[in-house]
Amino acid sequence: MTTQYPDLKGARVLVTGASGGLGAAMARAFGAQGARVVVHYRTRAEGAAQTALAVAEAGGEAVKLRADLRSEAAIERLVDDAWQQWDGLDVVVNNAGVVLKAAILDAGSRWWDDVLNVNLRAPYLLSRRVAARMIDAGIRGTILHNSSIHARRSTRYFSAYAASKAALEMLASVQALEWAEHGIRVNCVAPGVVPVERTATALAEAEELWRPHIPLGRYGRPEEIAELTLFLASEASGWTTGQSYVADGGMLARIDMPRRPRPPLPPEPDLIEDD
């Protein structure tokens, strides 16, 4: 049963990367609180529409906005349009991310830049613009970044992804320090292994590889990560800022991580769009 947080009813929320996966689960969870949600997407318009419908069916309101988060101009328009839609923002969840599984010797600067642009640069630029508007409007808001257990302990072939998430957690710490005087809280959610649409089949096939490393003996569920996000967005965590909360079934409590085979070379990143 979903915990109800009265202060989230009517809250104005932006969730990036909400056309599926964890972002969609987070958007639906905010909808169940009666929040007004901006569903961000880049390519999956149909998925964003389904998320917006799910938010409305859960009891909230939703609109969808498209932006390529690798473009600074697109990020600025996204924030401005989201702000205008609900006449402000109370909660921002930087969920959108890129996962690259490749050997360091196989992936050159284009792959590295693409991962860092989406996973680190975009949250920096987006939260910076949101915080400035919150401060001007006197809004004591909440900013959340979606990190990962790979920020603490990674495995082979995750160099760019792990580096981006580790840097994101340190960014959150500095943002929390700089913006605390304005009443803006900044925290991270760091999920473990949680199957979503694009990973469900692969993780099901590799369950015997991963499950022995998860003390609770199962993968996480998107709804469990969404519940943690709600808690950190609400006043129930009003004295919490600059922290990263791990939800991984106890995986980081172990000292080992599975060894995976070397993955094939990934496709080239596509071009940055500036709408």
Residues in CB range of 128: below 8 A, 6 or more apart: none
- Nearest 5°: phi and psi at 9? -65, 120
List the catalytic residues.
Answer: 161
In order, the DSSP letters of 135-164 are: HHHT---EEEEE--GGGTS--TT-HHHHHH
Q: The tokens of 150 are what?
A: 């790979």
Rounded Cα distance between 148 and 195, Å, is 13
For strand 36-41 and strand 142-146, is the pairing parallel, antiparallel, or unpaired? unpaired
Q: Are 90 and 11 in contact (CB under 8 A)?
A: yes
Tally Cβ neighbours within 10 Å of residue 98. 19
Residues in CB range of 38: below 8 A, 6 or more apart: 12, 13, 14, 15, 62, 63, 64, 65, 82, 85, 86, 89
Q: What is the distance, to the nearest Å, from the Cα of residue 70 to the centroid of all Cα atoms in its chain? A: 15
Rounded Cα distance between 28 and 91, Å, is 14
Rounded Cα distance between 83 and 133, Å, is 9
Q: How many helices (H) and strands (E) does the chain have?
A: 9, 7
